[in-house]
Amino acid sequence: MGVGGGCLVLPWRCLVVLCLRLLFLVPAGVPVRSGEATFPKAMDNVTVKQGESATLRCTVDDRVTRVAWLNRSTILYAGNDKWSIDDRVVILTNTKTQYSIRIHNVDIYDEGPYTCSVQTDNHPKTSRVHLIVQVPPQIINITSDITVNEGSSVTLLCLAFGRPEPTVTWKHLSGKEGQGFISDDEYLEITGITRDQSGEYECTAVNDVAAPDIRRVKVTVNYPPSISNPKNTGVSVGQKGILRCEASAVPVAEFQWFKEDTRLANGLDGVRIENKGRMSTLTFFNVSEKDYGNYTCVAINKLGNTNASIILYEISEPPALAGPGAVHDGNSAASRAMACVWLSGALLAYFLLKF
Ligand SMILES: *[C@@H]1O[C@H](CO)[C@@H](O)[C@H](O)[C@H]1NC(C)=O
Ligand SMILES: *[C@@H]1O[C@H](CO)[C@@H](O)[C@H](O)[C@H]1NC(C)=O
Ligand SMILES: *[C@@H]1O[C@H](CO)[C@@H](O)[C@H](O)[C@H]1NC(C)=O
Ligand SMILES: *[C@@H]1O[C@H](CO)[C@@H](O)[C@H](O)[C@H]1NC(C)=O
Ligand SMILES: *[C@@H]1O[C@H](CO)[C@@H](O)[C@H](O)[C@H]1NC(C)=O
Ligand SMILES: *[C@@H]1O[C@H](CO)[C@@H](O)[C@H](O)[C@H]1NC(C)=O
């Protein structure tokens, strides 16, 4: 069968005489274990990385009359004669003590049993070596960056190839400490994803052949706006007043401002609306009596909307520091200084009453 294989590959070589002459090379039944036989002595299993060269050595002595290397049952070399048509296979040494071949640019298909077959004193003997081909870990398919809505389920996939088969793990990079969970599987399933679970996920494929292959996936979690700590603001007439509205949302919220049922527009009635990221501000350049009241900030994105009411209320004008027409920020140092003066007065009154 081995010779038949060789003959199929190279029919022009298939002279019956030659084939018969080489029949002794075909392993008859169970191959002789290298430990038991004196000759031939093949090496232990050969391990190489894909793309490298593998050398198959067979130790012989001067009683050996014929030698050959076989890939499974196909003859690669018989003595100095090349039977294989594969250019990657070359003879390295054929001396009285050693018979070696080399396979260049080894691929995973080359993995398997190779047999050194010899004839000594008309007795055929064989010895087998396993060629083991290693491949560095490589991620071959990974989920692309995705955007999902909060509460939905997500499966991240990371397929890796390599020999030995790589170990695949998932890690949440943006996760706060203790929250960045890990999956030791190709699949990472998240049911009911939360906003805290958004961010970068890293897949790592490891085997002991070469450095790990690492890839990242960005998961964006959309959620409806929520307004945090709306604050009522006190401003006196003639001053500058600012109402602030902060909303967290993905995608980022758009804002609208209302007074009672009327929507406010930028530039009208001496107000300016400014949106910057999570924050919207409503600025009154010169607060008058009619400006006081109940305002509503509405934050909207495609997942929903929410609103909060913020009151602009009157505080008595600081007499000394803000003359008529002077414009100050409601939160300015001046008003804080005034609060301080008032507080000191109150404390003084308290002590006077007590003693
Ligand atoms: C050689 O490899 C084969 C197949 O992987 C295995 O069965 C055998 O035990 C190995 N022999 C040695 C000496 O490592
Ligand atoms: C060994 O045999 C296998 C299976 O027929 C083949 O795919 C591979 O290319 C052969 N390798 C060499 C070096 O002959
Ligand atoms: C990656 O895997 C997915 C899911 O199994 C499959 O639909 C897709 O075709 C694969 N892509 C590639 C490039 O193999
Ligand atoms: C402001 O208006 C909202 C509704 O527009 C109402 O729920 C809220 O009670 C009002 N606040 C005050 C202090 O009147
Ligand atoms: C504010 O929210 C309430 C209930 O969430 C809704 O009834 C009301 O119409 C909203 N107001 C505005 C101005 O969108
Ligand atoms: C603010 O408005 C009042 C009343 O309309 C006006 O008298 C005053 O000059 C204004 N101040 C500024 C700085 O525009």
Starting from the CA of residue 239, give the closest ligand: 6
Distance 160 CA to ligand 3 centre (A): 12
End-to-end CA distance of the chain: 119
> How far is residue 336 from each of residues 284, 318, 332, 333, measured CA to CA in Å?
20, 11, 7, 5
Per-residue tokens: 282: 């409503």
Starting from the CA of residue 85, give the closest ligand: 2
- Amino acid letter, 147: T
291 vs 259: CA distance, rounded Å: 9
* Spatial contact of 40 and 125, defined as CB atoms under 8 Å apart: yes
Distance 71 CA to ligand 2 centre (A): 6
Pocket flag, ligand 4, residue 296 (CB < 6 Å): yes
Dihedral (CA of 105, 106, 109, 115) sign: positive
Q: Backbone dihedral region of 238: left (phi > 0), alpha (psi from -120 to 50 degrees) or beta?
A: left
* Spatial contact of 271 and 219, defined as CB atoms under 8 Å apart: no
Residues with CB under 6 A from ligand 5: 258, 296, 298, 307
Per-residue tokens: 275: 């949106």
Distance 31 CA to ligand 2 centre (A): 20
Distance 257 CA to ligand 4 centre (A): 14
Residue nearest to atom 8 of ligand 3 (CA): 141
Query: How confident is the prediction along the chain (355 residues), in pLDDT tens digits per residue?
Result: 344 444 444 444 433 333 334 444 444 333 434 433 456 676 789 999 999 999 999 999 888 899 999 999 999 999 999 999 999 999 999 999 999 999 999 999 999 999 999 998 889 999 999 999 999 999 999 999 999 999 999 999 999 999 999 999 999 997 666 555 678 889 999 999 999 999 999 999 999 999 999 999 999 999 999 999 999 999 999 999 999 999 999 999 999 999 988 999 988 778 999 999 999 999 999 999 999 999 999 999 999 999 999 999 999 876 555 444 444 454 554 455 555 455 555 555 555 555 5
Starting from the CA of residue 107, give the closest ligand: 2
Residue nearest to atom 10 of ligand 6 (CA): 325
Pocket flag, ligand 6, residue 175 (CB < 6 Å): no
Residue nearest to atom 13 of ligand 2 (CA): 110
